[in-house]
Structure 1
């Protein structure tokens, strides 16, 4: 009869399977606690690396509809439940396994498809989504830079045109002012002439 703890463990593993877009089954025989901690850190927050019981994991996998782990659940088992970038997580696992041969990558699944150990390695060799996005951003960077230069050139030109208009506006009243001042002088010259004519 299953104990409440075992039932809860199966439910947790089942949930982990269902919420993950990929998972990798490993054997960690000989790894120290410190090494396992190092691996968990390298995998990031979106990947849960859990030591599991083989029997309970087999039940949970069936409940989640996963058959990739059939006949692979033996020895000290840990599973990387990947909820984020599967390529980056697979790369972290394979890189760690190269440095720490005690970690053996046995099998996995990605988006519902089973992967053997070479399949996990092939997944790790792909470009991660982050790298792809960075590359796309790099491709878009040049046109954006050109657009920015165009906008800046237009802004400078507008400022230059605005400055010229302001200068013309400032000069216009100055040109008109002398004409306005000359009118009274002309009138003053005409007035004595008229007075002299009347005296004659």
Structure 2
């Protein structure tokens, strides 16, 4: 292999290591068996939610993970592997939610494991995380809870006003 090719691969590993180091959530999946259209749709949905997906050789993954200081994921770098990651600290659950949805829809996807905010996570933990509503859903639930007392008070005032109108007639 030429020195230029080796340098190019080393440059790729260094750049990918920096991306992994900045990532708040990393998921390792086996995607083999999806059609091109299904992978394209998943990538599009991931991209729309500020999440990246890369298919990288396992040897490069091991090297990038080691350079990024990520330990414990080596056993997931076996077979066909895609890395899904985000540096968006606002919603680290989004990658898990999207991948989990695709895993439910297509039996061929297999979540191997991952890392959330520097902690190793298992497939089961990722599935549990995917069940939690996203930031927008949680904010909507909060607004609904905060509006309930005001709404109930408004109904009570209206009921009193209606009863006074009926008694005045």
- Compute the TM-score of the two structures, normalised by the length of structure 2: 0.77
Partner of residue 121 from structure 1, selected from 114, 124, 127:
127
Alpha-carbon deviation of 1:12? 2.3
User: Are 2:45 and 1:42 aligned?
Assistant: yes
State the match for 1:172 in structure 2.
none
Tell me whether 1:3 sits opposite 2:6 in the alignment.
yes
* Superposed CA RMSD: 2.1
Over residues 44-99 of structure 1, what are the superposed CA-to-partner deviations in whole Å (9 max), with x where a residue is unaligned?
34100111110111111111111131222111110101223222321110110111
2:94 equivalent in structure 1: 88
Q: Deviations over 1:85-144 (max 9, x none)?
A: 222321110110111122111010101100111111111122322211222233344578
Unaligned 5+ runs, structure 2: 153-169
Provide closer, same or farther for how the CA distance between residues 68 and 122 of structure 1 changes in structure 2, counting only shifts above 3 A. Answer: farther
User: CA–CA distance in 2 between the matches of 1:20 and 1:130?
Assistant: 21
Q: Secondary structure at the match of 2:93?
A: helix
Larger radius of gyration: 1
Q: 1:57 aligns with which of 54, 61, 86?
A: 61
Inter-CA distance 4–145: structure 2 relative to 1 (3 Å threshold): farther
Whether the aligned pair in 1 keeps the contact of 2:25 and 2:95 (CA below 8 Å) is: no
Note if contact 2:27-2:114 (Cα within 8 Å) is conserved in structure 1: yes
- In the alignment, structure 1 residue 105 sits paired with structure 2 residue 111: yes
**Number of residue pairs aligned between Structure 1 and Structure 2:** 146
In the other structure, the counterpart of 1:131 is 137
Determine helix, strand or coil for the equivalent of 2:129. helix
Tell me, yes or no, if the aligned pair for 1:29 and 1:102 is still in contact at 8 Å. Answer: yes
Judged with a 3 Å threshold, the aligned counterparts in structure 2 of structure 1 residues 7 and 70 are, in CA distance, closer, same or farther, namely: same
Q: Deviations over 1:139-189 (max 9, x none)?
A: 34457889xxxxxxxxxxxxxxxxxxxxxxxxxxxxxxxxxxxxxxxxxxx
Q: Name the one with the larger helix percent.
A: 1
Q: Which runs of 5+ in 1 are unaligned?
A: 147-200
Is the Cα–Cα contact under 8 Å of residues 49 and 94 in structure 2 kept in the other structure? Answer: no
